Amino acid sequence: MIIVLKRDIDEKGVNSLIGEITGNYEVQVQPIKGSECTVLGLVGDTSKIVVEELGSDERIHKVMRVREPFKKANRAFHPANSIIQIADRTIGGEEFAIIAGPCSVESEEQIVEIAKSVKTSGATFLRGGAYKPRTSPYAFQGLEEDGLDLLKLARQETGLPIVTEIMYPQTIEKFVEDVDVIQVGARNMQNFALLKELGKTNKPILLKRGLSSTIEEWLMAAEYIMAGGNDNVILCERGIRTFENYTRNTLDLSAIPAIKKLSHLPIIIDPSHATGFSYMVEPMCMAAIAAGADGVIIEVHNNPAKALCDGPQSITPARFDEVVRKMEKYTAIEGRTIRRG
Amino acid sequence: MIIVLKRDIDEKGVNSLIGEITGNYEVQVQPIKGSECTVLGLVGDTSKIVVEELGSDERIHKVMRVREPFKKANRAFHPANSIIQIADRTIGGEEFAIIAGPCSVESEEQIVEIAKSVKTSGATFLRGGAYKPRTSPYAFQGLEEDGLDLLKLARQETGLPIVTEIMYPQTIEKFVEDVDVIQVGARNMQNFALLKELGKTNKPILLKRGLSSTIEEWLMAAEYIMAGGNDNVILCERGIRTFENYTRNTLDLSAIPAIKKLSHLPIIIDPSHATGFSYMVEPMCMAAIAAGADGVIIEVHNNPAKALCDGPQSITPARFDEVVRKMEKYTAIEGRTIRRG
Amino acid sequence: MIIVLKRDIDEKGVNSLIGEITGNYEVQVQPIKGSECTVLGLVGDTSKIVVEELGSDERIHKVMRVREPFKKANRAFHPANSIIQIADRTIGGEEFAIIAGPCSVESEEQIVEIAKSVKTSGATFLRGGAYKPRTSPYAFQGLEEDGLDLLKLARQETGLPIVTEIMYPQTIEKFVEDVDVIQVGARNMQNFALLKELGKTNKPILLKRGLSSTIEEWLMAAEYIMAGGNDNVILCERGIRTFENYTRNTLDLSAIPAIKKLSHLPIIIDPSHATGFSYMVEPMCMAAIAAGADGVIIEVHNNPAKALCDGPQSITPARFDEVVRKMEKYTAIEGRTIRRG
Amino acid sequence: MIIVLKRDIDEKGVNSLIGEITGNYEVQVQPIKGSECTVLGLVGDTSKIVVEELGSDERIHKVMRVREPFKKANRAFHPANSIIQIADRTIGGEEFAIIAGPCSVESEEQIVEIAKSVKTSGATFLRGGAYKPRTSPYAFQGLEEDGLDLLKLARQETGLPIVTEIMYPQTIEKFVEDVDVIQVGARNMQNFALLKELGKTNKPILLKRGLSSTIEEWLMAAEYIMAGGNDNVILCERGIRTFENYTRNTLDLSAIPAIKKLSHLPIIIDPSHATGFSYMVEPMCMAAIAAGADGVIIEVHNNPAKALCDGPQSITPARFDEVVRKMEKYTAIEGRTIRRG
């Protein structure tokens, strides 16, 4: 950690500050006296120092962290890729994960039909919303518990592990029992109360990136779960909020190599929510594979005739099948496989 | 609501779509046939239509909402300013609210001393964090329940109503009993599970704007609380996330006239967290008053010698006193008063 | 175009406004009377109406454009892909363009050596900065005219057409004579004075997207050049400015399918400047191909020992060769070819 | 300047790098050996080192600048406020500047009438666009030279100095002769070709902040003009581009105290363009004064009946008069005066 002092701090002031720092933290301090000001280099365990707090000192101009504040999620301390085991399949290893299904679980017929269809095309996990975070309190909030039951039914019929979003901390126990991967939505990425509870379980967690979260904050959110003892974290990039409003959000595909460099955790991509356009699902899936992603999560709806209840970003099962066929060509180049069934 | 159809939809297609819409929603549809495409105007109660869902239809090019989706928070349906009563004082009326106190409650001595000091200077509410949302799981998470007890003690000593942030839904009952204003932090602005629970209480809620939330989303979050039956919502602008990183966030003071135009709810400003600099607290407080804010929330710490544990955005009690003296001149122009004691 | 009127405009007011609009513009107006307000649908040539200007009327709540404001760049009026001819090669057709070279032209030895090397690996165009836009007036501003001469020399040695950035309108004549593709940098994307002059030439223009330009503004900048009579515009996505600062900018790969849908112009990707990291060049090149780009522009430097003068986003010729080998596999899937030599 | 090395660089590598740096630049290097990596502190004149270039070295993890890269614009080297003299008035001193006038100069009658009216109300400068940067090539581009002539006429009638935007480098001579303050628009803030030319004049330059420019980049743009010898730079904040689209841009009023801290240059605010709403002009003007601005620039139009040709952000002369009356109360608190006539 580097501390830049204000211009007018004299030698006595510098020494006094060094004394305070070494008194408060287990670090050694090396001063550099420049022509304009003095800079302090802190050596040792600086992970307990909160930059904002230290920066409050009136003698300090700026505090700069040299190394990342995350540890358990840091590739520096865990060089090998993490491979998350879910039922008889994995995310983060050789297998390329394809999570598919409708935005919301609507009925037994709907979810079972979609599940069978996407499985035949090559999906390896089933997604579907039971509890829905909606911007408006007047919009449909999901089938809730009944939705979970329908997902279980679809799993029974197809063998596909299920991925669904949690919203209420009081439902954690039920989710741990019922689902295979618990999704934390973008709006809850820094709901630390929820993250802490999930850290106490050993369920795989699909942690979506917050709309305005930096890569560092995202990894710190993963760190919250891992600090509690749960290392089974899968990251999901789903678009960040920018000035551009042609697309719903801006899909940040450079986050893939960034995460691969900084962390050992797997990362998957959600092209449906990121772009908001069904016509972008195919090119963004291919780009995700080419950029090194470990999987994709795609919205598929089965009944275009009742399209009024589906999102414009959903694709049909037939289109999904074409997309998977093309994904096979791309994953082959990257030496990855798409498991069938 | 306006629906723009794709270019290639013929008259039969237009009529069939109109039939579906009037069948699904209680609206009337008026088509406009243009040279390039047809546009549908929907008249009636469109509040139950989710734009994203309707936009999914393959025949539809674009859906545009004509009016705001929020109702209870909308000034159009509630022209007079809402004035929130808290103990014997108000926010949103003639009194200008000054909420002051430390970032975190640290000890009885600290919180009581600051409370007395800020009261003498003119603060009308005491703030202090008991439960702290921290980016890092390794940082101090607050005194939690003990912090609440210390805040109550400070209230007893000074008579200042207390404002503090909630993080855990399971603590709502305790917060309702113990505190005067429950703060929802920026990171929880779209924690709909929490908002719904707070909607069931009748406590005043200080709803901070999310870092990347639009004004409309912010008012929709207020709508969540109000839809549950709790109309006591106070909005708090605390900076939005932008590309500029000299300041911690970008304080959006134009949100004040925007909120005043769109909604009847009171709005206060947090210059400390928005800018991250103590030297900006004074100018941003004055600007907030001049722009029409109903109050400010300011971080004040009492012990600069132990400054290592306070944020760089905090000001000292002496500085706070100067700021309040200057605020009195500004509020006078706006015809507002600062209540003493 | 849709005009939403304020709530309190009565029938007489509506009729009077309609009269003014039809008097000022060659359009027909169809009113829709809703329960809350009246909406006007404008049919006809609305391209001359400036939304901001019309919106100023005190009777008007909101103006919404139904169709895109660009014409010559619009795929709706030019369904086939534009293929730009440059010397004996093309951009936008079956050939995948690879533009490679150093950030700055430094010396004859440097530029000729790099040109030969990248040509052997498969580059189809040579890039190199002669006039350099630098944030600081104290930084190296390029070799200017001498740089252009060195580029011509390298072209003579290798046959590679040259691409370089223009900064000064007074150098347009020289650029038209000397270079094969004139690059307009991100900072000049809305330098309308420059765009107008380039519209009078018939040179291919590589138009970089502005750091904070929407896709619509970018296409309107292309429209400026095309309105002058020059249809040879190639778009280049090079990252947009967002809150994320791990990468230099955020590469918006969803702009590729967006541009392909909205326009007939070719689009290439600059992974070097977008990300600022050499390690991201390979994955972002592959992702660009997979997303449907027509080419890439890559920084290559030849002398890592003197690396102090090159950008951290540059790759070595050896690395470039590996990247091109991998690109060949990806372009093959997309049915495109990389021309050799 | 601080250089953080990669983890795997050994002592020999560190020494070799230090040798290269001291060989290339006139600096001394002090290494700090940490547990995880080595950090180098560079002491001396680091202004010629381009961070991006140094960061390219494969041995370097990160480069962090300790001090600002701007010099002539830096308050550290010029502690007193710069006061810019324009005719018989000043910007940056005790006088609060009010620049008012229409978006575009339309006719003699229009500009002279507005000029007289705003002068009577208290405007101290006349603004009006002769050359207009328009997003669309099909929109009105201004009266150009004729517009300049009309502005001169209005100046002759009222004595108000004139402020107008330059777009074409070839018109600089004419602007220097004809106008009192040359405005550089937001889109041209990093048009370095133009900035360099303006640096050779001694005209006051009103430098608008780019839509996505950081405060540092804005001051570096000022530095370009000052490096050429022209110290007469006035900064103008006019809103930055963010995700919020209720307002046209987001007015960053915290830029006022930031600029006052970092620089000695005067700063004024443009509430009209920043917000895009006439109803926000008054509150944002008051907030600007309260935050410490040296002036405001406001759009005023005189003919609401022909409002179709004016921006929705313009206010009427009557409204302008009310706003100035209120500004007088605010400037009085700040110890500043509004010159009449």
What residue segments make up the domains of chain D, in order of their start?
Answer: 2-64, 75-333
For residues B4 and B31, the answer to whether their CB atoms sit within 8 Å is no
Neighbour count for residue D93 (Cβ, 10 Å) = 17
- Reading phi first (left if > 0) and then psi (alpha if -120 to 50, else beta), residue A243 is in alpha
Report which of residues C306 and B293 the model is more confident about.
Answer: B293
In the predicted model, what is the mean pLDDT of residues A185-209? 96
SS3 C104: strand
Contact C4 B66 (CB under 8 A): yes
Contact B247 D258 (CB under 8 A): yes
> What pLDDT shows up at residue B60?
83
> What pLDDT shows up at residue A120?
96
Pick D39's closest partner by Cβ from A4, A66, A212: A66
Report which of residues D339 and B85 the model is more confident about.
Answer: B85
Contacts of D23 (CB under 8 A, 6+ apart): none
> What pLDDT shows up at residue D21?
87
> What pLDDT shows up at residue D308?
40
Q: How far is CA B109 from the centre of its chain?
A: 30
Distance CA D233, CA C137 (A): 16
Contacts of A68 (CB under 8 A, 6+ apart): A74, A76, A216, A219, A262
Q: Burial letters for A128-138: b for 16+ Cβ neighbours within 10 Å, e otherwise? A: bbbbbbebbbb
Contact D193 C56 (CB under 8 A): no
Q: How far is CA A7 from the centre of its chain?
A: 42
Residue A40: CA count within 13 A, CB half-sphere: 27
Residues from chain D that touch A67, judged by Cβ atoms under 8 A, are 36-37
D70-103 residue pLDDT tens: 999 999 889 999 999 999 999 999 999 999 999 9
In the predicted model, what is the mean pLDDT of residues C245-265? 96
Contacts of D28 (CB under 8 A, 6+ apart): D22, D42, D43, D44
Which 3-state string (H, E, C) describes chain A? CEEEECCCCCHHHHHHHHHHHHHHCCEEEEEEECCCCEEEEEEECCCCCCHHHHCCCCCEEEEECCCCCCCCCEHHHCCCCCCEEECCEEECCCECEEEEECCECCCHHHHHHHHHHHHHHCCCEEECECCCCCCCCCCCCCCCHHHHHHHHHHHHHHCCCEEEECCCHHHHHHHHHHCCEEEECHHHCCCHHHHHHHHCCCCCEEEECCCCCCHHHHHHHHHHHHHCCCCCEEEEECCECCCCCCCCCECCCCHHHHHHHHECCCEEECHHHHHCCHHHHHHHHHHHHHCCCCEEEEEECCCHHHHHHCCCCCECHHHHHHHHHHHHHHHHHCCCECCCC
Contact D76 A241 (CB under 8 A): no
Q: Assess whether pLDDT exceeds 60 at residue C307.
A: no
- A60 pLDDT band (50/70/90 cuts)? confident
Q: At what angle do helices A317-333 and A281-290 cross, to 10 degrees?
A: 20
Least confident of A296-310, C244-258, D137-151: A296-310
In the predicted model, what is the mean pLDDT of residues D235-244? 97
D176-185 residue pLDDT tens: 999 999 999 9
Measured in angstroms, the CA of C278 and the nearest CA of chain D are apart by: 9
> What pLDDT shows up at residue B309?
40
For residues B254 and B269, the answer to whether their CB atoms sit within 8 Å is no
Which residues share a beta bridge with A19?
A: none
In the predicted model, what is the mean pLDDT of residues A19-46? 83
Report which of residues C247 and D303 the model is more confident about.
Answer: C247
Contact C56 D276 (CB under 8 A): no
Q: Assess whether pLDDT exceeds 50 at residue D309.
A: no
Give the residue carrying structure tokens 């380039």: C198
Q: Interior CA angle at A39 toward D60 and B279, to 5°?
A: 115
Q: Which of D220, D253, D273, D331 to mutate to test the interface with B (most CBs of B within 10 A)?
A: D253
Residues from chain D that touch B333, judged by Cβ atoms under 8 A, are 326, 329-330, 333
Q: Which residue of C has its CA nearest to B28?
A: C34
D255-308 residue pLDDT tens: 999 999 999 999 999 999 999 888 999 999 999 999 999 999 999 987 654 544
CATH architecture observed for domain D75-333 = Alpha-Beta Barrel (3.20)
Tokens for C136, please give them: 């600081």
Chains that touch A (3 or more CB pairs under 8 A): B, C, D
Q: Interior CA angle at D242 toward B68 and A192, to 5°?
A: 80
Please state, rounded to an integer, the average pLDDT across all residues of chain D.
91
B50-87 residue pLDDT tens: 776 676 677 887 787 777 889 999 998 899 999 999 99
Pick C227's closest partner by Cβ from D137, D241, D276: D137
- A53 pLDDT band (50/70/90 cuts)? low
In the predicted model, what is the mean pLDDT of residues D243-248? 93
> What pLDDT shows up at residue A184?
98
Contact residues, chain B to chain C, C-beta under 8 Å: 2, 4, 7, 30, 32-37, 39, 41, 43-44, 62, 64, 66-67, 76, 212, 241-243, 245
Nearest one of B97, B116, B17 to B57, comparing CA atoms? B17
In the predicted model, what is the mean pLDDT of residues C304-311? 46
Q: Which residue of D has its CA nearest to C306?
A: D57
Contact D32 A41 (CB under 8 A): yes
Tokens for B340, please give them: 């003493």
Strands (E), B38-104: 38-44, 60-64, 84-86, 89-91, 97-101
Q: Assess whether pLDDT exceeds 70 at residue A55.
A: no
Residues from chain C that touch B39, judged by Cβ atoms under 8 A, are 2, 41, 66
The phi, psi pair for B298, rounded to 5°, reads -130, 140
Tokens for D118, please give them: 């705003």
For residues C298 and C99, the answer to whether their CB atoms sit within 8 Å is yes
Distance CA B303, CA B307 (A): 6
In the predicted model, what is the mean pLDDT of residues C131-159? 93
Q: Assess whether pLDDT exceeds 90 at residue C67.
A: no
In the predicted model, what is the mean pLDDT of residues A316-337? 95
Distance CA D306, CA C24 (A): 10
Give the residue carrying structure tokens 């050429």: D228
In the predicted model, what is the mean pLDDT of residues C191-212? 96
Q: Assess whether pLDDT exceeds 80 at residue C4.
A: yes
SS3 C56: coil
For residues A124 and A160, the answer to whether their CB atoms sit within 8 Å is yes
Task: Report how far apart the first and last C-alpha atoms of chain C are (Å, whole number).
Answer: 50
Report the relative pairing of strands D84-86 and B162-165 from DSSP bridges: unpaired
Contact A32 D44 (CB under 8 A): no
Q: Assess whether pLDDT exceeds 80 at residue A46.
A: no
Name the CATH superfamily for B2-64.
Answer: Phospho-2-dehydro-3-deoxyheptonate aldolase; domain 1 (3.30.70.1140)
Cα separation values, B254 from A142, A252, D292, D340, Å: 36, 29, 17, 29
Distance CA A21, CA A42 (A): 9
Tokens for C248, please give them: 């230099």
D21-72 residue pLDDT tens: 888 888 888 888 876 778 888 888 777 777 766 766 778 877 877 778 899 9
Strands laid side by side in the A60-64 sheet: A27-33, A38-44, A2-5, A60-64
Please state, rounded to an integer, the average pLDDT across all residues of chain C.
91
Nearest one of B258, B174, B266 to B214, comparing CA atoms? B258
Tokens for A108, please give them: 């037994």
Q: Assess whether pLDDT exceeds 70 at residue A312.
A: no
Strands (E), chain B: 2-5, 27-33, 38-44, 60-64, 84-86, 89-91, 97-101, 125-127, 162-165, 181-184, 205-208, 233-237, 267-269, 295-299
Q: Assess whether pLDDT exceeds 60 at residue C128.
A: yes
Which residues share a beta bridge with C263?
A: C74
Measured in angstroms, the CA of B164 and the nearest CA of chain A are apart by: 16
Strands (E), chain C: 2-5, 27-33, 38-44, 60-64, 84-86, 89-91, 97-101, 125-127, 162-165, 181-184, 205-208, 233-237, 267-269, 295-299
Residues from chain C that touch D227, judged by Cβ atoms under 8 A, are 137-138
Contact D276 C192 (CB under 8 A): no
Distance CA C268, CA C13 (A): 50
Q: Divide the 341 residues of chain B into consecutive groups of 10 and give the mean pLDDT of each group.
A: 83 88 86 79 78 71 80 93 97 97 93 96 96 87 94 98 95 96 97 96 97 96 96 98 94 98 97 92 98 97 54 84 97 91 58
In the predicted model, what is the mean pLDDT of residues A125-148? 91
Contact D2 A2 (CB under 8 A): yes
Strands (E), chain D: 2-5, 27-33, 38-44, 60-64, 84-86, 89-91, 97-101, 125-127, 162-165, 181-184, 205-208, 233-237, 267-269, 295-299
Measured in angstroms, the CA of C268 and the nearest CA of chain B are apart by: 25
Pick B214's closest partner by Cβ from D244, D284, D326: D244
For residues C285 and C328, the answer to whether their CB atoms sit within 8 Å is no
Contact A66 D35 (CB under 8 A): no
| Share in percent of chain D as helix, strand, coil (round to 5) | 40, 20, 40
